[in-house]
Amino acid sequence: MYLSVQISHYPLQDEYKASIKQVIEHLRNSGLEVHPNRMSTQVFGEFDEVMKVLSETMKWSFETHGKAVFTANFLEGDRRPKD
């Protein structure tokens, strides 16, 4: 099953930009299709792999950068932007 996710990361710290950039880079290095924009990041892939990567990324973020809020919207199916 294919999954489309829109996720946002809100670090609870004064210097938040570096943390956001590192989370996006962590997602990009996962092998999933990742499209960041100004307010969120879209992630696309097979359900099990997407959920595994999101779980690992959130855990890594908490361990590396401390407290943060993650919000996500999940949609079954392929909702990648069309060129």
Contact 31, 73 (CB under 8 A): no
The helix-helix angle for 17-28 and 47-65 (nearest 10°) equals 150
Contact 13, 51 (CB under 8 A): no
Q: Which pLDDT tens digit goes with each residue over 47-71?
A: 999 999 999 999 999 999 999 999 9
C-alpha 24/C-alpha 60 separation (Å) is 12
> What is the band of 81 on the pLDDT scale with cuts at 50, 70, 90?
low
Residues 6 or more apart from 80 whose CB is under 8 A from it?
4, 33, 35, 42, 44
pTM of structure: 0.88
